[in-house]
Chain A
Amino acid sequence: MEWSGAVSLGAMTQRITRDEVVHVARLARLSLSDAEIDEFTGQLGDILEHAADIEALDVGDVEPTSHPLPMVNVLRPDELRPALDRDLLLSQAPAAEDGQFRVPPILGEEP
């Protein structure tokens, strides 16, 4: 599917289009019904409308903060230590085989 990509939001009356909602759902691996697409188009538009105060802000020189407190990388000695048991972890999987997680075919064909 072709997607139109970025458009000038300021000029838009509709904050997010139906097609964009469909595109985002595909990225997020969610399947939406027509009614849900309509509902989300309206609701996400309302939320983005509220965020217009941020969108309009002039923050050119401000550095972004992705973490609230200044922290440096945490390192530890590269030593072997016990990990969780593989069989225990696989026992929680929906399907497992030969010590591995089992999934349906990846490319749409039976192996």
Chain B
Amino acid sequence: MSALDLASAVRSGERSAVDVIDEHLARIEARDSEINAFNLVTADAAREAAAAVDAAVAAGKDPGPLAGVPIAIKDNMCTTGVATTCSSKILEGWEPPYDATVVQRVAAAGAVMVGKTNLDEFAMGSSTENSAFGPTKNPLDTSRVPGGSSGGSAAAVAADFASLSLGSDTGGSIRQPAAFCGLVGMKPTYGAVSRYGLIAFGSSLDQIGPFSKTVAESAALLEAIGGHDPLDSTSIDQPAFDLTSVLDRGVEGMRIGILRELSGGEGGVEGVSADVIARTNEAAAALEKAGAIVVEVSVPSATLGLSAYYLVAPAEASSNLSRFDGVRYGLRVDASTTGEMMTATRTAGFGPEVKRRIMLGTYALSAGYYDAFYGKALKVRTMMLQEFASVYAEVDLLLTPTAPTTAFQLGDRTANPMTMYVNDVCTIPSNLIGHPAISVPFGVGDDGLPVGVQLLGPALSEPTIYQAATALEAAASGEGSLS
């Protein structure tokens, strides 16, 4: 049952929110020891919140548009009095004194948090294998990764532990796990969703967004969490999007460009597998059949995204993660001086990938290298912004694969960091330029696992993106029934 059907059943009193939550908690109990989607299951608090929803319904009060819907929250978003770990040892024992804005907004909409989900430590990774609490497995095939960094949030929805979940996306961390788990995953426009209470990784790139099984559920959740927040100075000063009312408008006359450089085209990025390219082309054909005008377009600088990202994101991370020093919260490893205590704490508290990125970022920002690496990466962002802007003068949206491959085997890419980083090659450009992008399931690869295709649009084009995503979803389910 979709989140929207659940909410309407709870709102009408036809179903009790407590029953809905118990049902999901039972599923978690039965299978999460195998999947490891959750760092923490908040069963008692969830039952209490569900009882409050039922009480509101009984009292004739509006329990909110997502009344009684079980939701999982990535464990890098602050929850008052509930451990928030970023899947890192360095935040051991920390209970945030405040809620992230998104946590408050989903609760205000009536949704019920069932737990905090696993992630690559501090959201650094593409497989959820870099967690201090062990990897999350893909519920569709437990020998495979769920993607990352929001792998726990993706797995929670794919395994029906929750109807919806929230992830964060710095270079693809919502869209790639959505693709790997056969879900819809959306990275909104930078500033469209408040980052207040999201533990920062790359502050100019991070954005919170929804996971769901369908496009309509994704739209409903984004409506609930979006809109201006005075607590986030980068929050765009405008109300939440109206998305659910535009979903069924279709793509008649919409201009959609296949982005050559990210879709296996000549001169583009390497390593996008043939089955993924084939599904992307079929998605384009399906949109054309639905009335869209499909053309091929070129953004040459898109191929520079990976390099620019792996300078900008670590640079921002090295600065953001300097706050974890054993003084104010979390882990402290004692030593005879404060300096030694900080080094001992950080050395014991951070895992290898986080150390690698802190090192890379510190290097990229250090004297003598700033101009050659970080400074140039910032200029690449400008080039990308300009080139994407000229493409959007020609087309409304762009289409690419979400990830170069389907979900890979656990342990397959942990030895060499670059083989992991290339996973983000198609998703990174949207973060560098702050634009929205959604991953929608479209068929399966040669291995029978889901393929995700990505729709990209200019800043604040969410309504158009959701319109096209709805058409794509309809076409994909049509394809599925044929095969």
Q: Are B382 and A64 in contact (CB under 8 A)?
A: yes
Contact in complex: B382, A105 (CB < 8 Å): no
> Are A68 and B338 interface neighbours, CB within 8 A?
no
Minimal beta-carbon separation of A68 from chain B (angstroms)? 3
Indicate if the CB atoms of B363 and A16 lie closer than 8 Å. yes
Q: In the bound complex, what is the Cα–Cα distance between A66 and B365 (angstroms)? A: 13
Which residues A66-98 have CB closer than 8 A to chain B? Answer: 66-69, 71, 74, 76, 84-85, 88-89, 92-95
Assess whether B379 is in contact with A62, with CB atoms less than 8 Å apart.
Answer: yes
B359 interface residue per 8 A CB criterion: yes
Residues on A with C-beta less than 8 A from B340 are: 104
Question: With A101-B327, A104-B334, A108-B337 in contact, is A28–B359 under 8 Å at CB?
Answer: yes
Name the contact of A69 in the complex, choosing from B191, B343, B373, B416 (C-beta under 8 A). Answer: B191
Q: Which residue of B lies closest to A71 (CB)?
A: B234
A104–B385 CB distance below 8 A: no
The smallest beta-carbon distance between A104 and chain B, in angstroms, is: 5
**Interchain nearest-CB distance for A87 vs B (Å):** 10
Tell me the residues in window 10-27 of chain A with beta carbons closer than 8 Å to chain B beta carbons: 16, 20-21, 24-25, 27
The smallest beta-carbon distance between B350 and chain A, in angstroms, is 7
- State whether the Cβ of A63 lies closer than 8 Å to any Cβ in chain B: yes
B contact residues around A106 at 8 Å (CB): 337-339
Query: With a CB–CB cut-off of 8 A, which chain B residues contact A64?
Result: 375, 378-379, 381-382
Additional 17 contacts, C-beta under 8 A, given A30-B347, A54-B308, A106-B338 = A9-B369, A20-B363, A28-B346, A28-B362, A30-B346, A30-B358, A31-B343, A32-B347, A44-B356, A50-B310, A50-B418, A57-B376, A59-B383, A64-B375, A68-B434, A69-B189, A103-B338
For residue B261, give the distance in angstroms from its CB to the closest CB of chain A.
13
Min CB distance, A107 to chain B, in Å? 7
* Interchain nearest-CB distance for A51 vs B (Å): 4
Residue in chain B with minimal CB distance to A88: B97
Q: What chain B residues lie within 8 Å of A38 (beta carbons)?
A: none
How many A-B contacts if CB must be within 8 Å?
Answer: 174
Of A20, A55, A95, A108, the residue contacting B372 (CB under 8 A) is: A55
A65 lies within 8 A of B382 (CB): yes
Q: Within 8 Å of chain B (Cβ to Cβ): is A6?
A: yes
Bound CA span A77–B342, Å: 37
* Chain A residue at minimal CB-CB distance from B365: A27
Minimum CB–CB distance from A99 to chain B (whole Å) comes to: 13
Q: Does B23 contact A (CB under 8 A)?
A: no
A59 and B331 alpha carbons, distance in the complex (Å): 43
Interface residues of B (CB under 8 A from A): 94-95, 97-98, 189-191, 204-205, 230, 233-234, 236, 303-304, 306-308, 310-311, 318, 325-332, 334-344, 346-347, 350, 355-356, 358-360, 362-363, 366-369, 372-373, 375-383, 385, 416-418, 421, 432-435, 459
B366–A74 contact, CB under 8 A? no
Residue of B nearest to A7 (CB): B368
Chain A contact residue count (CB 8 A cutoff)? 55
Contact residues of B: prevailing secondary structure: helix
Q: Is the CB of A93 within 8 A of B328?
A: yes
Whether B336 and A66, one on each chain, are in contact in the complex, defined by CB atoms closer than 8 angstroms, is no
Given known pairs A31-B344, A55-B372, A101-B327, the reply for A69 and B434 (CB within 8 Å) is yes
Assembly CA distance A31 to B383 (angstroms): 38
Minimum-distance CB pairs A-B, first 9: A6-B368, A68-B434, A94-B332, A64-B378, A65-B381, A59-B379, A62-B379, A74-B233, A65-B382
Residue contact A6 to B336, C-beta cutoff 8 Å: no
Asked if A101 and B328 make an inter-chain contact with CB atoms under 8 angstroms apart, the answer reads: yes
Asked if A47 and B97 make an inter-chain contact with CB atoms under 8 angstroms apart, the answer reads no
With an 8 A cutoff between CB atoms, is A53 at the interface? Answer: yes
Contacts of A85 in B (CB 8 A): 97
Enumerate chain A residues within 8 angstroms of B382, measured Cβ to Cβ. 62-65
| CB neighbours of A93 from chain B (8 A) | 327-329
Considering the complex, give the chain B residue whose CB is closest to the CB of A102. B327
The answer for the CA separation of A110 and B341 in the assembled complex, in Å, is: 15
Whether A29 and B343, one on each chain, are in contact in the complex, defined by CB atoms closer than 8 angstroms, is yes
A50 vs B372: C-alpha distance in the bound complex, in angstroms? 13
Measured between alpha carbons, how far is A88 from B334 in the docked complex, in Å?
Answer: 23
Cα of A43 to Cα of B363 in the assembled complex, Å: 13
B380 contacts across to A, CB distance below 8 A: 54, 57, 59
Indicate if the CB atoms of B433 and A68 lie closer than 8 Å. yes
Chain A, residues 34-63, CB within 8 Å of chain B (1/0): the string is 001000100110111011011101010011
Query: Which A-chain residue is minimally distant from B363 (CB atoms)?
Result: A24
Q: Which residue of A lies closest to B361 (CB)?
A: A28
A47/B360 contact (C-beta < 8 A), A24-B366, A64-B381, A103-B341 known: yes
| A contact residues around B97 at 8 Å (CB) | 84-85, 88-89, 92
B314 (CB) vs chain A CBs: closest residue: A47
Task: Output the nearest chain B residue to A105 by Cβ-Cβ distance.
Answer: B337
Residue of B whose beta carbon sits closest to that of A66: B378
Q: Which residues of A contact B318 (CB under 8 A)?
A: 28
**CA–CA, A71 to B189, complex, Å?**
13
Asked if residues A84 and B98 are in contact (CB atoms below 8 Å), the reply is: yes
Known A46-B417, A53-B307: A92·B334 in contact at CB below 8 Å: no
Which chain A residue has the least Cβ–Cβ distance from B343?
Answer: A29
**B301's closest neighbor in chain A, by CB?**
A57
Tell me, in angstroms, the Cα distance from A50 to B233 when the chains sit together. Answer: 34
